[in-house]
Amino acid sequence: MKDYIKKNYNWLWILSIILFSLGTSLNIIFDIETSVEDNAILGEIASSNGWIMLILTIIIAPLIEEFSFRSWAINKKWTKYLCLILSTVIVASINIYVSVFYFFILLLIILLLEDKPKHQTLAYIFITTIGFVLSHWSNLDLLNYLVALPSYIAVALFISFIAVRFKFRYAILTHGIYNFTLLLLGGFIIPYGTTITLNEGNYKGTLTPVSGLFSHKGADYYGGYSASINRTLLPKIVASLNFDSDFEIKTYPSTYSFYNLKVENNDKINKIDLKAISKELIKKCKLRIDTITEIKEVYFLTVKDINKIKLNEADSSNPKKIYYPSVLKYVVSSYANAHKIIIRVPEEYKEIMIKDNTQFYIDNQPTKTKLPQFLKNLEKEYGFILTPKQAEVKTIRIFED
């Protein structure tokens, strides 16, 4: 048994299985749930085009990472220096100081151990495994990263075994298969769940699970007399239906499964109740919600002259200038969500209809005029002032069980 473990680097795959089992056990024990808003991988999966995400995950990422961290296994001088340059660049994107140390250690391995191929291979495996693990630092918050650390090491060691024991191209293939398996088991490719009928309020509709590869035409819309949300993680749908909340909202999906939501009002008179739809989804889809309070930076909005942007009777009755008005709290909320900041609007301004002149007409002729970004000429254009302060923020957390 001892001879088998030593032979042909078999200790690598054995150690990788032990470490991966440890990582899986730690994940079960700690059961750390990660929000889309705090996790780079979840954020990319949620927001990217599904097919592009699939290509990046199973083709582009394995190619880049394998050439960066394991091209030394090709055993040619130029590939060793290619590994040195590419892996250092990736580590530098995490921490420039660590990358300098990493660079010199790997360079010394290339130069000093050239006549000792076995020792050099072991040194390559050790240092590039560290580089590979460090390269995934930004994917997770610190606690999640520490729990996932044994799994990252296990993956690096196993792929190193494939590269050394077989051929480098099989290492790329193994990496691609591993990433594909994560997406498959996570529900990105084949969706989990069943279609749910919604019909407990002044509306009727369906929630339908779809693949992460699903694509759609047209923009999402919700509010008024209908709601349509496409290819969105379930907790994010509930967050969207509560988008005018004064609280910060974080969403915690259990899988990569996406959904389409299609809802219309029943009576064609009253606007649909978004909060009622949200409550029904929570009940039928086994979502749970809690609220925590944190101290964070908050932008408090003040307005120098509300009449400068307020839609008045003269504006709304002017046939030569047609406005597309918006409620101030919705405009501000959309901006805050897009830029991941918290903005608080005074109560007296929240419901005011403002002139949304992203597209307006003069003499019934369309003129494309984009609404300036809030942080550019904010005071000049709208009389808005955003003042940052440390304040208590209530965070609504939506978990998918």
| Whole-number Å distance between alpha carbons of 128 and 54 | 25
306-361 per-position pLDDT tens digit: 776 777 655 555 555 545 556 777 777 766 766 677 888 888 777 777 765 443 33
What pLDDT, on a 0 to 100 scale, did the predictor assign at position 40? 82
What pLDDT, on a 0 to 100 scale, did the predictor assign at position 390? 92
pTM, 2 dp: 0.79
CB atoms inside a 10 Å sphere around CB 118: 9
Tokens at 246, concatenated: 């004064």
Long-range contacts of the stretch 163-172 (C-beta < 8 A, 24+): 163/66, 163/70, 163/73, 164/9, 164/12, 164/73, 164/121, 164/125, 165/8, 165/9, 165/12, 168/66, 168/70, 168/71, 168/73, 168/74, 171/66, 171/70, 171/73, 172/62, 172/63, 172/66
**Per-residue DSSP letter, 70:** S
51-109 per-position pLDDT tens digit: 999 999 999 999 999 999 999 999 899 999 999 999 999 999 999 999 999 999 999 99
Of 262, 333, 240, give the one whose Cα is nearest residue 36: 240
Rg of the chain over Cα atoms, rounded to whole angstroms, equals: 27
| Whole-number Å distance between alpha carbons of 184 and 170 | 20
27-64 per-position pLDDT tens digit: 888 877 888 888 888 888 888 889 999 999 999 999 99
Instruction: Give the rounded percent of residues in the chain with a pLDDT score beyond 70.
Output: 84
- Edge-to-edge order in the sheet of strand 359-362: 321-322, 359-362, 365-368
- Edge-to-edge order in the sheet of strand 384-400: 248-252, 384-400, 287-303, 343-344
Best-predicted range by mean pLDDT among 237-246, 371-380, 391-400? 391-400
Q: Helix 96-112 and helix 117-135: axis angle, to 10°?
A: 170
| Whole-number Å distance between alpha carbons of 84 and 308 | 59
CB contact set of 9 (below 8 Å; sequence gap of 6+): 161, 164, 165
Is residue 192 left, alpha or beta, with left meaning phi > 0 and alpha meaning psi from -120 to 50? beta
Of 287, 291, 293, give the one whose Cα is nearest residue 254: 287
CB contact set of 262 (below 8 Å; sequence gap of 6+): 205, 206, 208, 227, 228
241-273 per-position pLDDT tens digit: 886 666 788 999 988 999 999 999 887 777 888
Average pLDDT over residues 283-311: 83
What pLDDT, on a 0 to 100 scale, did the predictor assign at position 369? 32
